[in-house]
Amino acid sequence: MITINPFSVLSEFIPSIAIQTFVVVMIVLVIAGTVIDMIHKKNVKYFFENAKKAKKQATRTVSAGKKASILIKTVASDILTTSELAGKRRLAHLLGMYGTIIFWVTSVIMIFCYSTSKSLTPSILPLLWHLGAIMTCLGGYWFWFFLRVDVVAEGNPWYRVVRADLFVLSLVVTATFGLVWSYLQVSSISGWDTLFLILFGLSNLVLFGGIYWSKFAHMFYKPGAAIQKRLAEADGSNENLPYPTDKPKQFGLGIKREAPKHY
C-alpha cells in the first residue's frame, strides 16, 4: 500500500488531466481566498502601516548584513522549528507542519509527473506521501484532543468547534480520508474506495476553499510578523511602544500586586 501511487491507480478510471485540473483549481482557490482575506480583514495593510511606524520609532540603524542575519535566524528558529512553542505543543505542531508539507508536495509531484497508469512512480514518493499523511494525523489529532484546550481550566470539551477550527479540522480530515482511500483502493474494496475518494475530494474543497473563514492564510502572515518583530527588537522601535495603562508595570523580578482583601 505505502509504496503504490494511489493517483496512478485512479487514472485507470479518471483521466489524469481531470486530476491535474482539480489540483490547479485548489491552487486558484488558495490564491483567491488569500487575496479576499487580505482585502476584507486588512491584515496586510495593518502589517505595512505597523512597519512604517516602527521605522520612524527606530533608535538604532541596522545594516543590510545584520538584517539578512536576522532574517535567516528568524526563518530557522521561529518558522522552521517554531521555537516560540514548547514541549508537547511544539512537537505536535512540527509533526503537523512537516507532515502537511510532505503530503502536499508529494501529491503534486505524483499527480503531475506520475499520474498515468503507464508511468513508473519511484517508491519513495508514495512512501513519503503516506508518511506525510500519517504525521499530519498524529500532530493534528494530538493537538485537537489533548493540547487544544485545558478542559480543567477552561471547561471547553474537545468537541466544542468554532469557525477558527475549520483549518486544522479540514486538514486532519483530508489526510485521514486520503489514507483510508489509499488502503481501500489497494484492497480492491468496491464501493467503499469510491466513497472515500469523494470524501477526500470534498475535504480538499473545504480545506482550500474555506480560506476566508479559516486560519489557512495565517501560514502566510505568520512568517512576516515574526521577521518584523525581530527587526523591531534590533532597531529599538519596539522600545518606544507605550505600556498598557490597564496593566501593572513590572519591577525587578515581580509585579506590583494589590493587598489581599478580606470579606
Could you read off the pLDDT of 52-78 as tens digits, one per residue? Answer: 776 677 777 778 888 788 888 888 877
Q: Quote the pLDDT of residue 117.
A: 64
First to last CA, the chain: 68
- Given a cut of 50, whether residue 248 has pLDDT beyond it is no
Q: What is the pLDDT of residues 200-223, one digit of tens each?
A: 999 999 999 998 888 777 776 777
Does residue 181 belong to any structural domain of this protein?
yes
Beta-strand pair 254-255/250-251: antiparallel
Taking the whole predicted model, whether its pTM rises above 0.85 is answered as no
Does residue 229 belong to any structural domain of this protein?
yes
Q: Which three three-digit cell numbers place residue 113?
A: 509527473
Does residue 263 belong to any structural domain of this protein?
no
Does residue 177 belong to any structural domain of this protein?
yes
Count of all residues that appear for the chain in the document:
263
Q: Quote the pLDDT of residue 209.
A: 92
Q: Report percent pLDDT > 90 for the chain.
A: 38
Distances (CA, A) of 124 to 24, 38, 132: 24, 38, 12
Does residue 262 belong to any structural domain of this protein?
no
Q: Quote the pLDDT of residue 125.
A: 95
Does residue 71 belong to any structural domain of this protein?
yes
Q: What is the pLDDT of residues 154-203, one digit of tens each?
A: 455 667 777 778 899 999 999 999 999 999 998 878 789 999 999 999 99
Does residue 27 belong to any structural domain of this protein?
yes
Distances (CA, A) of 248 to 251, 256, 257: 9, 6, 8
C-alpha–C-alpha distance, residues 193 and 197, integer Å:
6
Q: Which three three-digit cell numbers place residue 6?
A: 494511489
Number of domains, the chain? 1
C-alpha–C-alpha distance, residues 163 and 215, integer Å:
9
Does residue 70 belong to any structural domain of this protein?
yes
Q: What range defines the domain where residue 67 resides? A: 6-255
Mean pLDDT of 235-250: 54
C-alpha–C-alpha distance, residues 109 and 111, integer Å:
6
Reported as a pLDDT band with limits 50, 70 and 90, residue 247 is very low
Distances (CA, A) of 221 to 43, 228, 242: 8, 11, 24
Q: Which three three-digit cell numbers place residue 202?
A: 470534498
Q: Quote the pLDDT of residue 217.
A: 72
255 pairs with which residues across the strands? Answer: 250
For residue 65, the tally of other CB atoms under 10 A from its CB is 8
